[in-house]
Amino acid sequence: MSKLCDQRSSAAVDSYKPRIDGVRGMPGKVSPDDLLAHVFERTGTDDETVLQGPANGEDAAAIAPFGGDETLVVSSDPISLAAAGVGSLAVPIACNDVAASGADPRWLTVVIMLPDEETDLEAITGDLDAAARDVGATIVGGHSEYVDQLERPLLSLTAMGTADSFVPTGGAEPGDSVIITKAAGLEGTAILATDFGDGLDVDEAVRERSEGFLEEISVAPDARAVREHATAMHDPTEGGVAAGLLEIARASGVRLAVDRERIPVREETRRLCEAAGVDPLRIFGSGALLATVPGDAVDDCLAALEAAGLEGSEIGTVGEGDPALVLDGEAITEPIADDLYPLWEGADADD
């Protein structure tokens, strides 16, 4: 919500902690049907060096421009829902899809659109610099300008890296096991705490801990720990872990059978979701990594995650059949909308 910045403006200026701001108008991703009809077949000249182009569930491209063993992985992501801390969030969000494709993020281009000259460009670029250093990436170019129609900064980043072996979203195979790192709904939990916390019956201490979840958004270490064995990896964002699992199933042409009770959900997430009446599996999920691995590699992957200081859990299996997420026996085949959008829309209606 736009009033969030007004309510917390002094705190945001002092700390510049990452915060998510709400949306107005039509929210959410373009539907898979519209992408199929209007986007995926309109890609210009055919190029045999493109190993992975636009497709449902695939968030990164894979290119082999010079031959050899390395694959160039490229992904672009905007960030428009943040006011304070936008630079700190933009880098890991852009780099996550590259990491989830088996590459180490190395290069970034940054487009910065600012609403006015009062926007703190120094703070934004300082955070971009620090966040890029954290993931080991270099900002190599971009563009900046003022756009007075904007209410908040709009950043769009392109992340690039090289991989020895590209890992697609659509690589899951029957017989694989499904792994999740960290926990479900980390980004969504932070959003609930910052955007809606004042109206929820949740302790201030819980809200403060939840806001800190935004510092765990990067999945680069997670992907590095499991990519040797992964047949598919995916960074769940809008629609949460449930949407991310369904996207793997649809992209791979398989059925993912998952038990809700096996999916880790932190106590802070449970309390905020219960207070807000939303499903922790259907709220923004950045910070977790979903991966499918051969059954005999599960123990090695979980051990590698533990050695990296990360949580990991086996939550289900991959089977044959029409593409679906089978959650506690219920088959889900239609795209999953994020539970936070109705909350934002209701807040906008009250303004």
Residue 269 lies in a domain: yes
pLDDT score of 43: 82
Q: Are residues 268 and 322 in the same domain?
A: yes
Which amino acid is located at 202 in the chain?
A: V
Is 341 a member of any domain? yes
> Is 155 part of any domain?
yes
- Residue 231 CA to residue 200 CA, distance in Å, equals 40
Closest by CA position to 230, among listed 178, 270, 190, 159: 178
Together in a domain, 109 and 191: no
Instruction: Answer yes or no: is 41 within a domain.
Output: no
- C-alpha span between 252 and 109 (Å, rounded): 30
The pLDDT of residue 351: 60
- Position 201 in a domain: yes
56 lies in some domain? yes
> What is the reported pLDDT for 14?
33
CATH code at 326?
A: 3.90.650.10
Query: Looking at residue 174, what is its pLDDT?
Result: 98
Residues in the chain, total:
351
How much is the pLDDT for 348?
63
pLDDT score recorded for residue 181: 98
Q: Please count the structural domains in the chain.
A: 2
pLDDT score recorded for residue 48: 87
Q: What is the pLDDT of residue 118?
A: 81
145 and 195 in a single domain? The answer is: no
The three-state (H, E, C) secondary structure of the chain, written as one string? CCHHHHHCHHHHHHHCCCCECCCCCCCCCCCHHHHHHHCCCCCCCCCCCEEECCECCECCEEECCCCCCCEEEEEEEEECCECCCHHHHHHHHHHHHHHCCCCEEEEEEEEEEECCCCCCHHHHHHHHHHHHHHHCCEEEEEEEEECCCCCCCEEEEEEEEEECCCCCHHHCCCCEEEEEECCCCHHHHHHHHHHCHHHCCCCHHHHHHHHHHHHHCCCHHHHHHHCCCCCEEECCCCCHHHHHHHHHHHHHCCEEEECHHHCCCCHHHHHHHHHHCCCHHHCCCECECEEEEEHHHHHHHHHHHHHCCCCEEEEEEEECCCCEEEECCEEECCCCCCCHHHHHHHHHHHC
In a domain, 9, yes or no: no
Give the structural domain span for 133. 49-163
Encode the chain (351 residues) as per-residue pLDDT tens digits.
Answer: 222 333 333 333 333 345 444 443 445 677 778 877 788 788 888 888 888 888 877 888 899 987 778 899 999 988 875 555 788 889 999 999 999 999 999 999 999 999 888 878 899 999 999 999 999 999 999 999 999 888 888 999 999 999 999 999 999 999 999 999 999 999 999 999 988 989 999 999 999 999 999 999 999 999 999 999 999 999 999 999 999 999 999 999 999 999 999 999 999 999 999 999 999 999 999 999 999 999 999 999 999 999 999 999 999 999 999 999 999 999 999 999 999 999 888 776 666
Query: Are 195 and 240 members of one domain?
Result: yes
Torsion angle, alpha carbons of 215, 216, 217, 220, to 10: 120
96 and 118 in one domain?
yes
The two tokens of residue 134 are 């954290």
Same domain, 83 and 105: yes
Can you give the pLDDT at residue 349?
67
Q: In terms of domains, do 126 and 239 share one?
A: no
What's the pLDDT at 19? 47
Shared domain check, 239 and 185: yes
In a domain, residue 38? The reply is: no
Which pLDDT belongs to residue 17? 42
